[in-house]
Amino acid sequence: MITALYGVLFHWIGGLAAGSFYVPFKKVRNWSWETYWLTNGIVSWLLAPTIFALILTTVPFEAILSTDSETLRNTYLCGLCWGIGGLTFGLSIRYLGVGLGNAIALGFCTVFGTLIPPIRSGTFVSDIWTPTDGKIVLLGVLVAVVGIAIAGRAGMEKERGLSDQEKKKTIKEFNFSKGVMIAAFAGIMSAFMAFAIDAGGPIGANAVEQGTVPHWSGLPILIVVMAGGLTTNFIWCIFLHLKNKSGYEYLARYKRDIESPDDDIPLRSNYLFSSLAGLVWYLQFFFYTVAHSYMGDFKFSSWTLHMASIIIFSSLWGLKLGEWKGSSKKSRQLLYTALGTLILSTVIIGIAAYIKGSSGAH
């Protein structure tokens, strides 16, 4: 019982990190999107996974290299697909804002990432549909999906009530139709993170055999997954650098062809805040893998808990950053209802953990 409740708690912490990672980007000035996104990516997909694994696990690269090639290939390819989702996820927030962008993308991500792994492995009926506690967890998943749908509805209601000029006051590049299409695609592709961690299970098992504490066993898996994500995003950002001639921004003090002092590039703070965003982005999956190890028979619900937590905290950030300023009373009421529904979903899953613990099941 206590073990699974720890899992719920760590999922909330991971959700806080995921819902907050984009906030430091608001302090970045006069860098193109591809410049600060790639800087963020080097930290989140290369440096942080390697450093955390080296510190907290035993010989992580030996655990990876001793894994069969098919597992490594599948884990990397799922990470590659997730990287596409992460790339377009950033674009969805760019066009919709933190609150609405997260809600729509994560709605699609929740359904695919939660249900596909147990269906694919053939454990859906035996571990989820048949036992009472499994049914309660499934109810929590469905409640979360409802909450996400309400959050999306709140965003659409907000969009209807604001003029284009009001929208652009808080989100400079607001574009609802483009943003929704990108967010839907991003959500589906982002679900591949759940598939990647599932596919990389043998890597974690090897890490435990070589002396790694089980709760840290997911960290070597993240090295492989994040390598796939880095590949996708690196290629796209280099393409944009070549297209937009923006590669010089990493070292320049001023934007080209502009002499105004207001258009200087604060390199030190830009690197600081982009790196901070990258670290926070990585921490969501650090806590996800830790939480996942605590969930026991409820592992399939990890993705739902992660998504629900992200939407809760990203929506709160959206309110804090003024993205809902000027929106209708109805849209805000829908948002509050969505947040309450998502919190309820995590409580339901916690109740299932209590029931399972009380029954003495393992």
Return the residue matching tokens 């200087």. Answer: 264
Lowest mean pLDDT among 91-95, 120-124, 279-283: 120-124
CA dist., res. 306 & res. 11, Å (int): 5
Question: Which of 55-59, 253-257, 339-343 is predicted least confidently?
Answer: 253-257
Contact 287, 13 (CB under 8 A): yes
**Looking at the predicted structure, is the pLDDT value of residue 99 above 90?**
no
Residue 263, C-beta contacts closer than 8 angstroms, at least 6 positions apart: 30, 254, 255
The neighbour count for residue 255, using CB atoms within 10 Å, is: 19
CA 5 vs CA 84, 206, 247, 303: distances in Å: 32, 26, 46, 15
* Residue 83 and residue 233 in contact, taking contact as beta carbons nearer than 8 Å: yes
Residue 112 and residue 213 in contact, taking contact as beta carbons nearer than 8 Å: no
Output DSSP code: residue 360.
T
Measured between alpha carbons, how far is 8 from 224 in angstroms, rounded to an integer?
25
Q: Are 91 and 186 in contact (CB under 8 A)?
A: yes
Q: How many CB atoms lie within 10 A of CB 276?
A: 17
Tokens of 113: 């990432």
pLDDT tens sequence across 135-191: 887 888 788 778 877 877 887 777 676 666 655 555 666 777 777 788 888 888 888
- Residue 3: predicted pLDDT: 65
- The confidence score (pLDDT) of residue 361 equals 44
pLDDT at res. 351: 74
Nearest alpha-carbon partner for 147 in 316, 318, 312: 312
Q: What angle do CA 142, 147, 151 make, to 5 degrees?
A: 145
Distance (Å, rounded) from C-alpha 176 to C-alpha 103?
13
DSSP assignment of 111-171 equals: HHHHHHHHHHHT-IIIIIISSHHHHHHHHHHHHHHHHHHHHHHHHHHHHHHS-HHHHHHH-
Q: How far apart are CA 210 and CA 204, in angstroms?
A: 10
Whole-number pLDDT of residue 267: 94
Q: Is-contact 74 228, C-beta < 8 A?
A: no
**How far is it, in rounded angstroms, from Cα 245 to Cα 32?**
10
1-23 pLDDT per residue, tens: 456 677 778 888 988 888 788 88
pLDDT tens, position by position, 265-278? 999 999 999 999 99
Q: What is the pLDDT of residue 354?
A: 63
Rg (CA), the chain: 21
Q: pLDDT by residue (tens digit) across 48-76?
A: 999 999 999 999 999 999 999 999 999 99
Q: Rounded to the nearest 10 degrees, how much is the dihedral formed by the CA atoms of 162, 160, 99, 196?
A: -150
Cβ neighbours of 354 (radius 10 Å) = 15
Q: What share of the chain is helix, strand, coil (3-state, %, to 5)?
A: 85, 0, 15
CA 73 to CA 24: how far, in whole Å?
Answer: 33
Distance CA 191, CA 72 (A): 18
* Coil, helix or strand at residue 297: helix
Give the sign of the dihedral formed by CA 2, CA 305, CA 325, CA 265.
positive
